[in-house]
Structure 1
Amino acid sequence: MKRIAALLLVLVAALGLTGCATSPGQDGSSVVGQWGGVPDGAPVLVFSGEGSFTGNDGCNTLTGSWKQANDVVTLENMATTLMACEGVDTWLSRASTAKIEGMNLTVFDAQGGEIGVLAHEGTKN
């Protein structure tokens, strides 16, 4: 009986992870992988296939979860460090959504204003 309960728990957990599944862009594109980060120290977002992301704006570290519907990516539950770095534009910490446009990820703030663009670096996690 304990074995069946353990199997059911694993099945429920696996089904829960599929809840992080996304709808790829109209051209089949997925946000999974690395966007930005070149040269070293440049703003970067890295999206995992499990629905989480990490990033860095050149000063602060970011982490959270994401969902994709067609070409639009919504960043959720974002947490960021709040270090003050002289001469660093911390625009990425204001990210709320992003849109895949070919090999670029255009990033928008909570008001829908474009705040930056990250190029896809071809890294798949």
Structure 2
Amino acid sequence: MRLLLPVLAGALLLSACGNDAGVSPDPGESGGSPAADVTGTWGDVDNPDAPSLDFSPDGRVSGTDGCNRLMGHWSISGNHVTLRDVATTLMACPPGMDTWLAAGAAADVDGGTLRIYDQAGTEIGVLER
């Protein structure tokens, strides 16, 4: 029992040092194709009524659908981005405003274009870098 306690304490310390930011490692390190660079802003951030997303290097994503704020986490494999735990505010939006971005569950990076997909895998919109 005396030997088990230091081993468990060491394992706990090592597990606390892990990367829990949500960003997948570069698949190129294991022989696959390198991950696309999704970090930074997508969409028209100067227009508060336009959808936009900001992907932080720490695995967090935030933005707006043009009416409501969005926040959550992301990870990437190759050029495919998975959005997780996305929460949104629930403001009353003007009639006719298309808040499609709030339904985003995944995206594909294609150069300077980010194609957004819903849970069913249907493309629901596009954001430009």
- TM-score, structure 1 length as denominator? 0.78
Q: Which stretches of structure 1, 4 residues or longer, exceed 6 Å deviation after superposition?
A: none
Q: Distance in 2 between matches of 1:59 and 1:24?
A: 36
Question: Tell me, which stretches of 5 or more residues in structure 2 are unaligned?
Answer: 1-8
Are the counterparts in 1 of residues 67 and 93 from structure 2 also a CA contact under 8 Å? yes
RMSD (Å), alpha carbons = 2.3
Alignment of 1:4-43 (within 5 A): 12-17=15-20, 20-23=23-26, 26=33, 29-41=36-48, 42-43=50-51
1:57 aligns with 2:57: no
**Aligned-partner Cα distance in 1 for 2:21–2:61:** 16
Do the aligned partners of residues 27 and 102 (structure 1) sit closer, same or farther apart at CA in structure 2, a change above 3 Å counting?
farther
Task: Using the aligned pairs only, state the percent identity.
Answer: 46
Deviation of residue 40 (structure 1)?
1.1
Q: Distance in 2 between matches of 1:92 and 1:107?
A: 8
State how many pairs are aligned.
Answer: 113
Within 5 A, what are the aligned runs for 1:1-125? 12-17=15-20, 20-23=23-26, 26=33, 29-41=36-48, 42-86=50-94, 87-120=96-129
